[in-house]
Amino acid sequence: MEEEFFGMPLIGDRFPRLEVKTTKGKLVLPDDMEGKWFVLFSHPADFTPVCTTEFIAFQEKYPEFKNLNTELIGLSIDQIYSHHKWLEWIKEKMGVKIEFPVIADDLGMVAETLGMIHPGKGPTTVRAVFIVDDKGIIRAILYYPQEIGRNINEILRTIKALQTSDREGVATPANWPENERFGDKKIVPPPTTEEEIEERKQREAMGEIECFDWWLCLKK
């Protein structure tokens, strides 16, 4: 039975349970992705120029996503036959075989649930991206207008940063891991008690961390 949601799901919410029809068969999300991260991204329509370039770009980066234990899932409000024909066209004309599943949301139920339809843009999805972790929790949501293709490297960077934050208990600075001033160093969460402040100063003296003040410290 599908979970009931009121309004668009937010960062930190569990991804709503959805039974979907895809080019790879039926899936139940997020159940069938248990233990894996996944990126669900919507595109306005099959056989459109920007969407075609995005699918090629996602496929070319697919091995990098898989190295991060992350699967890709596309979606648009098109029938399954349209998806298959479009993916066939991409393979024949562009020499790229799309290996990840694409949801056929021809009734628009998934798009409505996830807030992917802009009322001023007609019955097509915006370029939404949901990054969901291996526990089924939504960790990031990105939205792009229909006219602008997505930066796939930024989606990869976001996943790397989230996984690093989970693993090491840190935050990441702007443009990490290629910050112009700090490089790939990570931010140590600021202390909240006097004891933690003193401990922070001791760690700096031992060379474990680099601090500009007690509230702004970094580590390799």
Catalytic residues: 51
Pick from 42, 215, 30, 219: nearest CA to 139 = 30
C-alpha 144 chain-centroid distance: 13
Q: How far apart are CA 96 and CA 184, in angstroms?
A: 33
SS3 call for 141: strand
Q: In what order do the strands lie in the sheet with 70-76?
A: 25-29, 18-22, 102-104, 70-76, 37-42, 127-132, 138-144
8 Å CB contact between 177 and 169 = no
